[in-house]
Amino acid sequence: MISSKYSFQNITQVNKAFNEWLNIDFLKIISKKRKIGNKVVRLNDIINDIIKYRHGVIHHLLIDTSMTKEEYINILTAVRKTIEEFTLFLENKYSIEIEKLYYSATPCQDSII
C-alpha cells in the first residue's frame, strides 16, 4: 500500500511518492511563483505551511485563532492555484482536458472555489 511507505507529512514525501509511482516531479510543478493576495509566493511554500498547520491541528490540537479571513482566503487561493497547476501539467503531459471532463461530470458547478 502506498500510504504505508510514505508519510505525506511534507512536500518532500509527497514528491517522492509522485516520482516513484508516476514519474512526476510534483515539487517542480508547484514551485512556481504565483500572486496570492497581495504577495508573490511559491505555491509549495504555502502548501508546506498548510501541511504543517494540519499536523498541528490533528496531532496537537493547535488551532491558530489569530488567522484573519484574508489569510484563510489566501490559503484557499493557494490550494486552488496548486490544483490548477497540477491539472494543467496533467493536461499537457497526457493531452487530455481534465477541466472539461470535470465540469461535464459535476452536477453543481457553483460550489467550486
List 35's β-bridge partners, or say none: 40
Please state, in angstroms and rounded to a whole number, the distance separating the CA atoms of residues 10 and 7.
8
Mean pLDDT of 99-110: 58
Please state, in angstroms and rounded to a whole number, the distance separating the CA atoms of residues 109 and 103.
7
The full set of domain ranges for the chain reads: 2-111
Q: Is residue 98 predicted with pLDDT exceeding 90?
A: no
What pTM value is reported for the model? 0.77
25-74 pLDDT tens trace: 999 999 999 999 999 999 999 998 888 887 777 777 778 788 899 998 99
CB 99 within 8 A of CB 91: yes
Q: Quick one: pLDDT band at residue 2, thresholds 50, 70, 90? A: low
> Which triple of cell numbers denotes residue 42?
511559491
